[in-house]
Structure 1
């Protein structure tokens, strides 16, 4: 196992540190995806109110992602990420003692609570992705982004396990306060991130190096290249919108759905999430290996097609153990492809505006994903427990067809050598 992980590790020590930060940050996020909506339910929030909060978090973070992506290309990623992690630690600290609605709302926005980002840095995730890409050879991207994704899933597994242990200390607390110690995890993760990120050098955009006798491409050629890159980005964003909408319909409220549908608590939900993220992390590593065999696009489409079938079957499960098993397998096949999809996007976005391009790509799924919890929360409030899954399945199916038809030819392009790193 260690040998396999070493084969996935990028050559740059700075890239490895960024991946480590993602894994540690994911521990806090794993605890929150299990417990945050259950915490709000314990406080008396309705399903519709919880869904509205999660939607608002997604919408605002998506809008900020575009702004910070453009800013990251101008000033470099390091200061932005350090500022973000410092704010997360400071604003989540009062959550250990208070449960007022205003505080919860502000902390949820800053900490991206309950959204299950797999270790990503909220609205700064595009900036961090571009930072990581700057330390990678293009040939490493498939494996490195798969390892980055796997680190997030393994961290989420640890966080889910810790959330599942909540009944051990629950007798020491009164009511909803039993959830509060779990907020220590994202706080400590933020402190760790500040310490490690401060040791990673910044990467500023580099102008192309030209000899005195070299000639720049003509304006016509640059316009053609820009239009080609923009067209590919628009097509990628269009397909991601369907995927994001599908994710938003199911993932943010899945803990709440398990609790309502099967009457289970955080210990059983957290245990299921533990195995979910462990298996998904392994799947992400296997997908990285699969990209070398069948290419990036097929490494996305084949596993996600299996995940689509499992998504249809999930709401039909008569018992919680069967539903948990279907959810675990579906997550492994579906979310294990995150690294491969990131590698495709990186290959399509020019170096000169990479952070902004990744932001545009991210918000194309983030905005629809943000709308999803409001709709699914309303459906759950109306006791339509299966409808969100069937809506998501239709959207995911359309996404897979578009993704394959539009990008089946880009594998060769996404693996072209990066002249700045070779």
Structure 2
């Protein structure tokens, strides 16, 4: 009598995950990966701080990890064509498991740096899934036409997993009662190791996902047809000029901030130079992509929005620890709550997008998130700052599933991105690599407000561009 309700619950869970076994397994793999990401998002910077690393050093290591992830994401299509999605995801999970074991076994600088760079520990604040995400989303999209529902559930599972991982990171002070501080941090890295091993085991049970030569030929044909497309219209040229003016405005904002803070120390001004270079790279990317197709421009703005959200969340654990001198438990609870709220909002957006269309809810929530980002560094207490951080994470991250659904609804599953689109994407991601080091140095210099103002400026710009999409777009079915 007890087994029957359990079977019914399992059946309901399977029905909710998806109608196909591969779809269900891919969703569970994403959940497991997110648990490891959420744990590392809290634990990595605090562990490095406990080892005596400065904010600039931690940011520099995260920048190196970001560069490695950017290179992998840029050449995802080629790697996928060589290995197939199944082997690609299996390789990624294996690399993550090996990196976690390396952290457990050694606290020396070289192995620790290699592990953080290879696995991207501490870099998954946006919940995007890292280099595995593009292949995983394409694979998921092949099983359903209802992309808003599909990616809404995918985002919900991702944020639920990250919230659980952040809660696990809260156990660090309990272990530190019996173990030295560094040993407690290292021991808990068994969490991402177990999640990666379990994810790899699930991947091995999936049927299909092998490299297909026919698909590669189809992508080549699509790329050839794209290269024969007609030249950009006058409207595209106007859009290019508008993007140039807007990008120049963002850069001028950065220079105005520099002038306004002219009395700051030379070290702080030097820390801001990578930020200006980051703004310049975003400007170049937007100018480069302004004359591209609407679906490619939508993809670019999705990347910019993801980067803008990452600017706020990167090194957030370190910022809370330095600004308010709180423990890993308090930081972990705040970050865990923010991910759980983001997951709840992504689920609500599944139904809201069907009634109102996907554009209007996303724009409204992202604007609310930008306001919270502006207010966050002004918070006088930890409780106020924690509340604002949870809200801005909920508003910003909760729209991820809907944004991906919009992007993939406009861009066919097998349509290969043009060289212009790939170059623009690379420039944006390259610019984001500069951010952690600059953020860390500004915190070391006692500047706790300026990073958030810059992040909010980029976020407002990306939201404005996203709102320019057709407001009367029909709801996704």
Alignment partner of 1:44 out of 45, 48, 52: 52
- Please give the residue correspondences for 1:177-326 in structure 2 after superposition, counting only pairs within 5 Å: 177-203=183-209, 223-224=228-229, 231-240=293-302, 242-326=304-388
Change (3 A) 1:93 1:100: same
- Matched-pair contact (CA < 8 Å) for 1:167–1:267: yes
Mapped partners of 1:18, 1:361: distance in 2: 29
- In the alignment, what sits opposite 2:90? 82
Q: How many residues align?
A: 403
Mapped partners of 1:83, 1:220: distance in 2: 32
Change (3 A) 1:251 1:221: closer
Superposition TM-score, scaled by structure 1 size = 0.86
- In the alignment, what sits opposite 1:163? 169
> Could you give the per-residue CA deviations for residues 265-318 of structure 1, whole angstroms, max 9, x where no partner exists?
101111112211111111110112211111122231111111111111111111
- In the alignment, what sits opposite 2:450? 387
Please state if 1:344 is matched with 2:406.
yes
Alignment partner of 1:367 out of 430, 450, 468: 430
Mapped partners of 1:356, 1:104: distance in 2: 37
Q: Structure 1 unaligned runs (5+)?
A: 209-215, 417-422
Change (3 A) 1:387 1:110: same
Alignment partner of 1:57 out of 65, 73, 79: 65
Superposition TM-score, scaled by structure 2 size = 0.77
Mapped partners of 1:8, 1:289: distance in 2: 15
Mapped partners of 2:193, 2:213: distance in 1: 35
Report the 3-state secondary structure (helix = DSSP H, G, I; strand = E; otherwise coil) of the residue aligned with 1:310.
helix
Please state if 1:397 is matched with 2:405.
no
- Matched-pair contact (CA < 8 Å) for 1:379–1:385: yes
Structure 1 range deviating more: 297-306 or 262-271 = 297-306
Report the 3-state secondary structure (helix = DSSP H, G, I; strand = E; otherwise coil) of the residue aligned with 1:351.
coil
- Matched-pair contact (CA < 8 Å) for 1:245–1:368: no
Alignment partner of 1:377 out of 440, 447, 458: 440
> Could you give the per-residue CA deviations for residues 8-39 of structure 1, whole angstroms, max 9, x where no partner exists?
64332311211111111111111111111010
Structure 1 range deviating more: 93-102 or 35-44 = 93-102
Change (3 A) 1:242 1:191: closer
Instruction: Quote the offset at 1:5 in angstroms.
Output: 7.8
Mapped partners of 2:422, 2:350: distance in 1: 23
- In the alignment, what sits opposite 1:22? 30
Instruction: Quote the offset at 1:226 in angstroms.
Output: 11
Change (3 A) 1:159 1:355: farther
Mapped partners of 1:185, 1:220: distance in 2: 46
Q: Structure 2 unaligned runs (5+)?
A: 1-8, 216-220, 234-290
> Could you give the per-residue CA deviations for residues 386-419 of structure 1, whole angstroms, max 9, x where no partner exists?
00000111111111111111x236844x948xxx
Mapped partners of 1:331, 1:120: distance in 2: 13
